[in-house]
Structure 1
Amino acid sequence: MTANTVTEQLTAAGRAIEHDSFSIIDAEVGPHAYSSNQWPVVRRMIHANADFDFNGLTDFHPQATDAALAAILGGASRIVADVEMICVGLSASRLAHFGLATHQFISDDDVIAQARAEDTTRAVQAMRKAHRLGLLDGAIVGIGNAPTALIEVVRLIRDEGARPALVVGMPVGFVSAAESKNLMAELTEVPWIVIRGRKGGSTLVVAAIHALLGLAEARQREAA
Protein backbone atom coordinates (compact mmCIF):
# COMPACT_ATOMS: atom_id res chain seq x y z
CA MET A 1 0.00 0.00 0.00
CA THR A 2 1.44 3.36 -1.03
CA ALA A 3 1.94 5.78 1.86
CA ASN A 4 1.25 9.50 1.92
CA THR A 5 4.22 11.64 0.94
CA VAL A 6 3.05 15.27 0.89
CA THR A 7 1.39 15.20 4.32
CA GLU A 8 4.07 13.19 6.12
CA GLN A 9 7.23 14.30 7.91
CA LEU A 10 10.04 15.13 5.47
CA THR A 11 12.67 12.77 6.90
CA ALA A 12 12.61 9.05 7.59
CA ALA A 13 13.54 9.71 11.23
CA GLY A 14 10.71 12.19 11.62
CA ARG A 15 8.21 9.82 10.03
CA ALA A 16 9.33 6.98 12.30
CA ILE A 17 8.86 9.06 15.45
CA GLU A 18 5.42 10.24 14.36
CA HIS A 19 4.30 6.73 13.38
CA ASP A 20 5.61 5.29 16.65
CA SER A 21 3.67 8.00 18.52
CA PHE A 22 0.49 7.09 16.67
CA SER A 23 1.05 3.40 17.47
CA ILE A 24 1.43 4.20 21.17
CA ILE A 25 -1.76 6.25 21.11
CA ASP A 26 -3.63 3.43 19.37
CA ALA A 27 -2.38 0.97 21.98
CA GLU A 28 -3.19 3.13 25.01
CA VAL A 29 -6.33 5.02 24.03
CA GLY A 30 -8.84 2.33 24.93
CA PRO A 31 -12.25 2.02 23.29
CA HIS A 32 -13.71 4.77 21.15
CA ALA A 33 -16.68 5.23 18.85
CA TYR A 34 -15.01 7.25 16.09
CA SER A 35 -15.24 6.23 12.43
CA SER A 36 -12.25 5.39 10.26
CA ASN A 37 -12.19 8.99 8.96
CA GLN A 38 -12.79 10.60 12.36
CA TRP A 39 -10.19 8.69 14.38
CA PRO A 40 -7.11 10.04 12.51
CA VAL A 41 -8.30 13.56 13.39
CA VAL A 42 -8.74 12.74 17.07
CA ARG A 43 -5.48 10.77 17.20
CA ARG A 44 -3.50 13.68 15.77
CA MET A 45 -5.09 16.00 18.32
CA ILE A 46 -4.08 13.63 21.12
CA HIS A 47 -0.58 13.53 19.60
CA ALA A 48 -0.40 17.35 19.61
CA ASN A 49 -1.13 17.67 23.35
CA ALA A 50 -0.47 14.19 24.81
CA ASP A 51 -4.00 14.40 26.22
CA PHE A 52 -6.25 11.35 25.90
CA ASP A 53 -9.27 13.39 27.01
CA PHE A 54 -9.80 14.31 23.38
CA ASN A 55 -11.04 10.76 22.96
CA GLY A 56 -14.61 11.60 23.89
CA LEU A 57 -14.41 15.39 24.04
CA THR A 58 -14.08 15.66 20.25
CA ASP A 59 -17.45 15.72 18.50
CA PHE A 60 -18.20 15.55 14.78
CA HIS A 61 -21.15 16.61 12.66
CA PRO A 62 -22.09 13.47 10.65
CA GLN A 63 -20.88 15.04 7.39
CA ALA A 64 -17.79 16.75 8.81
CA THR A 65 -14.99 14.68 7.29
CA ASP A 66 -16.73 14.17 3.95
CA ALA A 67 -17.35 17.91 3.69
CA ALA A 68 -13.73 18.66 4.57
CA LEU A 69 -12.37 16.27 1.95
CA ALA A 70 -14.70 17.65 -0.71
CA ALA A 71 -13.56 21.18 0.09
CA ILE A 72 -9.85 20.33 0.17
CA LEU A 73 -9.95 18.30 -3.04
CA GLY A 74 -12.34 20.62 -4.84
CA GLY A 75 -9.67 23.21 -5.52
CA ALA A 76 -11.76 26.25 -4.64
CA SER A 77 -11.58 26.34 -0.85
CA ARG A 78 -9.48 28.27 1.66
CA ILE A 79 -8.79 28.37 5.38
CA VAL A 80 -10.07 31.29 7.45
CA ALA A 81 -8.66 31.44 10.99
CA ASP A 82 -9.39 33.54 14.02
CA VAL A 83 -5.70 34.09 14.80
CA GLU A 84 -2.38 34.17 12.99
CA MET A 85 -1.06 31.25 15.04
CA ILE A 86 -3.21 28.82 13.06
CA CYS A 87 -2.00 30.18 9.73
CA VAL A 88 1.63 29.99 10.85
CA GLY A 89 1.22 26.50 12.29
CA LEU A 90 -0.15 24.95 9.11
CA SER A 91 2.42 23.41 6.78
CA ALA A 92 2.96 25.69 3.79
CA SER A 93 3.95 22.79 1.53
CA ARG A 94 0.88 20.75 2.44
CA LEU A 95 -1.40 23.72 1.84
CA ALA A 96 0.30 24.45 -1.48
CA HIS A 97 -0.23 20.87 -2.65
CA PHE A 98 -3.99 21.39 -2.39
CA GLY A 99 -3.96 25.03 -3.51
CA LEU A 100 -5.18 26.26 -0.14
CA ALA A 101 -4.57 29.82 1.04
CA THR A 102 -4.98 31.02 4.62
CA HIS A 103 -6.64 34.22 5.82
CA GLN A 104 -6.82 35.96 9.19
CA PHE A 105 -7.69 39.56 9.98
CA ILE A 106 -7.31 39.83 13.76
CA SER A 107 -4.65 42.58 13.65
CA ASP A 108 -5.93 44.60 10.68
CA ASP A 109 -6.28 48.29 11.44
CA ASP A 110 -9.90 48.45 10.28
CA VAL A 111 -10.79 45.43 12.42
CA ILE A 112 -9.24 47.03 15.51
CA ALA A 113 -10.95 50.35 14.82
CA GLN A 114 -14.36 48.74 14.32
CA ALA A 115 -14.00 46.66 17.48
CA ARG A 116 -13.29 49.82 19.45
CA ALA A 117 -16.14 51.71 17.81
CA GLU A 118 -18.70 48.97 18.48
CA ASP A 119 -17.23 47.81 21.82
CA THR A 120 -16.84 44.26 20.52
CA THR A 121 -13.81 42.03 20.17
CA ARG A 122 -11.33 42.01 17.32
CA ALA A 123 -12.26 38.38 16.75
CA VAL A 124 -15.89 39.30 16.07
CA GLN A 125 -14.91 42.00 13.61
CA ALA A 126 -12.38 39.71 11.92
CA MET A 127 -15.10 37.16 11.19
CA ARG A 128 -17.39 39.91 9.91
CA LYS A 129 -14.65 41.14 7.61
CA ALA A 130 -14.09 37.64 6.26
CA HIS A 131 -17.80 37.39 5.55
CA ARG A 132 -17.91 40.80 3.82
CA LEU A 133 -15.03 39.71 1.61
CA GLY A 134 -16.88 36.53 0.66
CA LEU A 135 -14.23 34.32 2.22
CA LEU A 136 -16.39 32.28 4.62
CA ASP A 137 -18.53 30.57 2.01
CA GLY A 138 -16.94 27.26 1.04
CA ALA A 139 -14.05 27.77 3.48
CA ILE A 140 -12.68 25.65 6.28
CA VAL A 141 -13.00 27.99 9.26
CA GLY A 142 -10.61 27.33 12.14
CA ILE A 143 -11.33 28.89 15.55
CA GLY A 144 -8.79 28.01 18.23
CA ASN A 145 -8.46 31.07 20.41
CA ALA A 146 -11.55 33.28 20.57
CA PRO A 147 -14.97 32.02 21.68
CA THR A 148 -16.42 35.31 20.45
CA ALA A 149 -15.22 34.46 16.94
CA LEU A 150 -17.05 31.12 17.02
CA ILE A 151 -20.21 32.73 18.40
CA GLU A 152 -20.06 35.27 15.58
CA VAL A 153 -19.59 32.53 12.98
CA VAL A 154 -22.72 30.84 14.34
CA ARG A 155 -24.60 34.14 14.03
CA LEU A 156 -23.35 34.70 10.49
CA ILE A 157 -24.51 31.21 9.53
CA ARG A 158 -27.92 31.61 11.14
CA ASP A 159 -28.70 35.24 10.34
CA GLU A 160 -26.68 36.17 7.25
CA GLY A 161 -26.51 32.93 5.32
CA ALA A 162 -22.77 32.29 5.59
CA ARG A 163 -21.99 28.76 4.45
CA PRO A 164 -18.51 27.51 5.35
CA ALA A 165 -17.63 24.05 4.09
CA LEU A 166 -16.58 23.12 7.64
CA VAL A 167 -16.09 24.86 10.97
CA VAL A 168 -13.33 23.52 13.21
CA GLY A 169 -14.48 25.12 16.46
CA MET A 170 -11.95 24.61 19.26
CA PRO A 171 -11.56 27.85 21.23
CA VAL A 172 -9.93 27.38 24.62
CA GLY A 173 -10.79 29.22 27.81
CA PHE A 174 -13.06 29.90 30.74
CA VAL A 175 -15.42 32.60 29.42
CA SER A 176 -17.90 31.32 26.82
CA ALA A 177 -15.54 28.69 25.39
CA ALA A 178 -17.71 25.68 26.22
CA GLU A 179 -20.87 27.60 25.41
CA SER A 180 -19.61 28.72 22.00
CA LYS A 181 -18.87 25.13 21.00
CA ASN A 182 -22.27 23.96 22.19
CA LEU A 183 -23.87 26.65 20.02
CA MET A 184 -21.88 25.49 17.01
CA ALA A 185 -22.88 21.89 17.61
CA GLU A 186 -26.57 22.83 17.52
CA LEU A 187 -26.28 23.80 13.87
CA THR A 188 -27.40 21.48 11.10
CA GLU A 189 -26.78 23.90 8.21
CA VAL A 190 -22.98 23.58 8.24
CA PRO A 191 -20.70 20.65 9.19
CA TRP A 192 -18.47 21.13 12.23
CA ILE A 193 -15.86 19.54 14.46
CA VAL A 194 -15.80 20.76 18.06
CA ILE A 195 -14.13 19.99 21.37
CA ARG A 196 -16.68 19.95 24.15
CA GLY A 197 -15.88 21.88 27.31
CA ARG A 198 -13.10 24.35 28.09
CA LYS A 199 -10.20 22.60 26.39
CA GLY A 200 -9.02 23.57 22.93
CA GLY A 201 -6.52 25.88 21.30
CA SER A 202 -4.94 26.81 18.00
CA THR A 203 -2.54 23.85 18.19
CA LEU A 204 -5.51 21.50 18.08
CA VAL A 205 -7.08 23.27 15.12
CA VAL A 206 -3.78 22.90 13.26
CA ALA A 207 -3.60 19.22 14.22
CA ALA A 208 -7.16 18.59 13.04
CA ILE A 209 -6.59 20.33 9.71
CA HIS A 210 -3.31 18.50 9.14
CA ALA A 211 -5.15 15.22 9.76
CA LEU A 212 -7.81 16.21 7.24
CA LEU A 213 -5.09 17.04 4.70
CA GLY A 214 -3.64 13.58 5.27
CA LEU A 215 -7.02 11.99 4.62
CA ALA A 216 -7.36 14.12 1.50
CA GLU A 217 -4.00 12.95 0.15
CA ALA A 218 -5.01 9.33 0.74
CA ARG A 219 -8.25 9.96 -1.15
CA GLN A 220 -6.23 11.54 -3.97
CA ARG A 221 -4.03 8.47 -4.25
CA GLU A 222 -7.05 6.15 -4.33
CA ALA A 223 -8.51 8.15 -7.22
CA ALA A 224 -5.26 8.24 -9.21
Structure 2
Amino acid sequence: MEYLKDPRAIEEKSFDIIKKGIEKNLYSDEELEVVKRVVHATADFEFARLIKFSNGAVEAGIKAIKAGWSIVTDTRMARAGIKRELAKSFGVRVRCYSSSKEAEKMARERNITRAMAAIILSSYETENKIFVIGNAPTALFKLNELIREGKVYPALVVGVPVGFVGAKESKEELVELPVPSIVVQGCKGGTPVAVAIINALLSLAERRDEVE
Protein backbone atom coordinates (compact mmCIF):
# COMPACT_ATOMS: atom_id res chain seq x y z
CA MET A 1 0.00 0.00 0.00
CA GLU A 2 1.29 3.44 -0.94
CA TYR A 3 1.23 6.02 1.83
CA LEU A 4 2.78 9.39 2.64
CA LYS A 5 6.10 9.28 4.48
CA ASP A 6 7.22 12.92 4.39
CA PRO A 7 6.16 14.58 7.70
CA ARG A 8 5.67 17.97 6.06
CA ALA A 9 3.52 16.49 3.28
CA ILE A 10 1.44 14.61 5.85
CA GLU A 11 0.83 17.78 7.86
CA GLU A 12 0.02 19.82 4.76
CA LYS A 13 -2.50 17.23 3.56
CA SER A 14 -4.05 17.03 7.03
CA PHE A 15 -4.57 20.78 7.23
CA ASP A 16 -5.94 20.86 3.69
CA ILE A 17 -8.58 18.31 4.74
CA ILE A 18 -9.30 20.25 7.94
CA LYS A 19 -9.62 23.56 6.10
CA LYS A 20 -12.25 22.09 3.78
CA GLY A 21 -14.20 20.65 6.71
CA ILE A 22 -14.54 23.81 8.81
CA GLU A 23 -17.08 26.56 8.29
CA LYS A 24 -14.48 29.30 8.45
CA ASN A 25 -16.86 32.27 8.53
CA LEU A 26 -17.64 31.35 12.14
CA TYR A 27 -14.21 32.60 13.24
CA SER A 28 -11.65 35.33 12.69
CA ASP A 29 -8.50 34.28 10.84
CA GLU A 30 -6.51 33.85 14.06
CA GLU A 31 -9.34 32.03 15.84
CA LEU A 32 -9.50 29.70 12.86
CA GLU A 33 -5.82 28.85 13.31
CA VAL A 34 -6.58 27.75 16.87
CA VAL A 35 -9.59 25.70 15.79
CA LYS A 36 -7.62 23.95 13.05
CA ARG A 37 -4.93 22.95 15.56
CA VAL A 38 -7.54 21.44 17.86
CA VAL A 39 -9.17 19.48 15.04
CA HIS A 40 -5.74 18.31 13.92
CA ALA A 41 -4.89 17.12 17.46
CA THR A 42 -8.18 15.26 17.92
CA ALA A 43 -9.30 14.25 14.41
CA ASP A 44 -12.73 15.44 15.53
CA PHE A 45 -14.52 18.08 13.47
CA GLU A 46 -17.13 18.55 16.20
CA PHE A 47 -14.63 20.76 18.03
CA ALA A 48 -15.01 23.29 15.21
CA ARG A 49 -18.56 23.78 16.45
CA LEU A 50 -17.89 23.50 20.19
CA ILE A 51 -14.96 25.89 20.66
CA LYS A 52 -16.06 29.32 21.87
CA PHE A 53 -13.87 32.42 22.16
CA SER A 54 -14.72 35.36 24.34
CA ASN A 55 -14.32 38.70 22.61
CA GLY A 56 -10.61 39.39 22.13
CA ALA A 57 -9.46 36.13 23.74
CA VAL A 58 -6.90 35.23 21.09
CA GLU A 59 -5.47 38.75 21.08
CA ALA A 60 -5.25 38.68 24.88
CA GLY A 61 -3.39 35.38 24.78
CA ILE A 62 -0.92 36.55 22.15
CA LYS A 63 -0.21 39.80 24.00
CA ALA A 64 0.35 37.93 27.27
CA ILE A 65 2.76 35.51 25.61
CA LYS A 66 4.69 38.35 23.98
CA ALA A 67 4.83 40.07 27.38
CA GLY A 68 6.32 36.95 28.98
CA TRP A 69 3.39 36.00 31.22
CA SER A 70 3.66 32.55 32.79
CA ILE A 71 1.50 29.61 31.69
CA VAL A 72 0.01 27.51 34.50
CA THR A 73 -1.32 24.06 33.62
CA ASP A 74 -3.44 21.66 35.64
CA THR A 75 -1.44 18.55 34.71
CA ARG A 76 2.15 17.56 34.00
CA MET A 77 0.94 16.05 30.72
CA ALA A 78 -0.22 19.48 29.55
CA ARG A 79 3.04 21.02 30.66
CA ALA A 80 4.98 18.39 28.73
CA GLY A 81 2.96 18.96 25.55
CA ILE A 82 3.41 22.73 25.37
CA LYS A 83 6.25 23.91 23.15
CA ARG A 84 8.45 25.09 25.98
CA GLU A 85 11.38 26.16 23.83
CA LEU A 86 9.07 28.43 21.87
CA ALA A 87 7.52 29.66 25.13
CA LYS A 88 11.00 30.26 26.53
CA SER A 89 11.87 32.44 23.53
CA PHE A 90 9.24 34.89 24.84
CA GLY A 91 10.43 34.58 28.43
CA VAL A 92 7.34 32.50 29.27
CA ARG A 93 7.61 29.87 32.01
CA VAL A 94 5.33 26.86 31.86
CA ARG A 95 4.42 25.75 35.36
CA CYS A 96 2.41 22.97 37.01
CA TYR A 97 1.87 22.79 40.76
CA SER A 98 -0.24 19.63 40.94
CA SER A 99 2.67 17.24 41.41
CA SER A 100 4.28 19.27 44.20
CA LYS A 101 4.49 18.06 47.78
CA GLU A 102 2.73 21.24 48.85
CA ALA A 103 -0.28 20.42 46.66
CA GLU A 104 -0.39 16.88 47.97
CA LYS A 105 -0.28 18.11 51.57
CA MET A 106 -2.92 20.81 51.06
CA ALA A 107 -5.25 18.39 49.27
CA ARG A 108 -4.98 15.93 52.13
CA GLU A 109 -5.43 18.52 54.88
CA ARG A 110 -8.36 20.31 53.24
CA ASN A 111 -9.97 17.23 51.71
CA ILE A 112 -9.92 18.73 48.22
CA THR A 113 -8.52 17.51 44.92
CA ARG A 114 -4.85 18.01 44.19
CA ALA A 115 -5.87 20.00 41.10
CA MET A 116 -7.73 22.44 43.35
CA ALA A 117 -4.75 22.71 45.68
CA ALA A 118 -2.50 23.41 42.70
CA ILE A 119 -4.68 26.33 41.60
CA ILE A 120 -4.66 27.74 45.13
CA LEU A 121 -0.86 27.46 45.30
CA SER A 122 -0.49 29.15 41.94
CA SER A 123 -2.54 32.09 43.22
CA TYR A 124 0.12 32.77 45.88
CA GLU A 125 2.64 33.63 43.16
CA THR A 126 2.57 37.28 42.13
CA GLU A 127 3.61 36.75 38.51
CA ASN A 128 1.06 37.32 35.75
CA LYS A 129 -0.50 34.17 34.32
CA ILE A 130 -2.35 32.36 31.59
CA PHE A 131 -4.27 29.38 33.00
CA VAL A 132 -4.62 26.20 30.96
CA ILE A 133 -7.04 23.61 32.33
CA GLY A 134 -7.72 20.54 30.22
CA ASN A 135 -8.36 17.77 32.69
CA ALA A 136 -9.85 18.69 36.05
CA PRO A 137 -13.21 20.48 36.35
CA THR A 138 -12.47 21.03 40.06
CA ALA A 139 -9.43 23.09 39.07
CA LEU A 140 -11.57 25.30 36.88
CA PHE A 141 -14.26 25.66 39.55
CA LYS A 142 -11.58 26.77 42.04
CA LEU A 143 -10.04 29.17 39.52
CA ASN A 144 -13.46 30.67 38.82
CA GLU A 145 -13.93 31.17 42.55
CA LEU A 146 -10.56 32.91 42.91
CA ILE A 147 -11.35 35.18 39.97
CA ARG A 148 -14.67 36.19 41.52
CA GLU A 149 -12.90 36.92 44.80
CA GLY A 150 -10.35 39.12 43.03
CA LYS A 151 -7.42 36.92 44.03
CA VAL A 152 -6.23 36.20 40.48
CA TYR A 153 -6.42 38.27 37.31
CA PRO A 154 -5.59 35.95 34.39
CA ALA A 155 -4.67 37.31 30.99
CA LEU A 156 -6.51 34.33 29.54
CA VAL A 157 -8.15 31.13 30.75
CA VAL A 158 -8.13 28.13 28.45
CA GLY A 159 -10.90 26.19 30.16
CA VAL A 160 -11.42 22.86 28.41
CA PRO A 161 -11.72 20.20 31.15
CA VAL A 162 -13.20 16.90 30.00
CA GLY A 163 -15.71 14.67 31.75
CA PHE A 164 -19.28 13.99 32.79
CA VAL A 165 -19.11 15.47 36.29
CA GLY A 166 -18.64 19.22 36.46
CA ALA A 167 -16.87 19.83 33.15
CA LYS A 168 -19.83 21.41 31.36
CA GLU A 169 -20.87 23.43 34.41
CA SER A 170 -17.37 24.74 35.19
CA LYS A 171 -17.04 26.05 31.63
CA GLU A 172 -20.47 27.64 31.68
CA GLU A 173 -19.45 29.41 34.88
CA LEU A 174 -16.18 30.61 33.35
CA VAL A 175 -17.77 32.30 30.35
CA GLU A 176 -19.88 34.44 32.69
CA LEU A 177 -16.75 35.92 34.29
CA PRO A 178 -15.09 39.13 33.05
CA VAL A 179 -11.89 37.45 31.85
CA PRO A 180 -10.77 36.44 28.34
CA SER A 181 -11.52 32.77 27.82
CA ILE A 182 -11.45 29.93 25.32
CA VAL A 183 -13.74 27.03 26.15
CA VAL A 184 -15.17 23.87 24.64
CA GLN A 185 -18.88 23.64 25.28
CA GLY A 186 -20.28 20.54 26.95
CA CYS A 187 -18.43 17.51 28.27
CA LYS A 188 -15.73 17.35 25.59
CA GLY A 189 -12.25 18.75 25.99
CA GLY A 190 -9.09 17.27 27.42
CA THR A 191 -5.38 17.86 27.75
CA PRO A 192 -4.60 17.41 24.01
CA VAL A 193 -7.17 20.13 23.26
CA ALA A 194 -5.69 22.49 25.86
CA VAL A 195 -2.17 21.90 24.55
CA ALA A 196 -3.25 22.44 20.93
CA ILE A 197 -4.83 25.78 21.84
CA ILE A 198 -1.75 27.06 23.66
CA ASN A 199 0.65 25.86 20.98
CA ALA A 200 -1.49 27.60 18.37
CA LEU A 201 -1.29 30.84 20.37
CA LEU A 202 2.48 30.47 20.70
CA SER A 203 2.77 30.00 16.93
CA LEU A 204 0.60 33.04 16.30
CA ALA A 205 2.78 35.09 18.66
CA GLU A 206 5.86 33.91 16.79
CA ARG A 207 4.26 34.85 13.49
CA ARG A 208 3.52 38.33 14.84
CA ASP A 209 7.19 38.74 15.73
CA GLU A 210 8.24 37.74 12.22
CA VAL A 211 5.87 40.29 10.67
CA GLU A 212 6.88 43.06 13.07
TM tier relative to shorter chain: over 0.9
Gaps of 5+ in 1: 1-12
Query: Which residue number in structure 1 is paired with residue 3 of structure 2?
Result: none
Other structure's SS at 1:38 match: helix
Question: What secondary structure, in the 3-state scheme, does the structure 2 residue paired with 1:193 have?
Answer: strand
Shift of 1:192: 0.5
Match of 1:186 in 2: 176
Name the residue aligned to 1:129: 121
* Aligned residue identity for 2:22: V
Give 1:31 shift.
5.3
- 1:176-214, Cα deviation, whole Å (9 max, x unpaired): 0000010111112x1010000000111111100111111
Residue 121 of structure 1 and its aligned partner are, at CA, apart by 0.7
CA distance in 2, matches of 1:28, 1:56: 11
> What is the identity, as a one-letter code, of the residue corresponding to 2:199?
H
Answer whether contact 1:147 1:176 (CA < 8 A) is retained. yes
Q: Which consecutive segments of 4 or more residues in structure 1 shift more than 3 A?
A: none
Q: Look up the match of 1:161.
A: 151
Q: Which moved more, 1:36-45 or 1:155-164?
A: 155-164
Matched, 1:83 2:78: no
Superposed, which structure 2 residues align to 1:27-106 within 5 Å? 27-30=20-23, 32-74=25-67, 76-106=68-98
Provide the residue aligned with 2:199 in structure 1. 210
TM-score, normalised relative to structure 1: 0.89
Conserved in 2, the CA contact under 8 Å of 1:171 and 1:199?
yes
Is the 1:44–1:211 contact (alpha carbons within 8 Å) kept by the matching residues of 2?
yes
Question: Mean Cα displacement is larger for which, 25-34 or 120-129?
Answer: 25-34
- The amino acid across from 1:162 in the alignment is V
**Matched residue count:** 208
Cα deviation for residue 14 of structure 1 reads 2.7
RMSD: 1.5
Identity %: 42
Deviations 1:72-111 (A, max 9, x none): 111x311100110011011232222222211111121221
Q: 1:98 to 1:14 in 2, by over 3 A?
A: farther
- The reply on whether 1:140 has 2:130 as its aligned counterpart is yes
Q: Which moved more, 1:113-122 or 1:25-34?
A: 25-34
Query: Which shifted more, 109-118 or 51-60?
Result: 109-118
Letter in 2 for 1:172: V
Partners of 1:27 and 1:57 in 2: CA distance: 17
How far, CA to CA, are the matches of 1:32 and 1:84 in structure 2?
Answer: 35
User: Where does structure 2 lack aligned partners over 5 or more consecutive residues?
Assistant: 1-5
CA distance in 2, matches of 1:221, 1:110: 41
| Local SS of the residue matching 1:59 | strand
Aligned equivalent of 2:211: 222
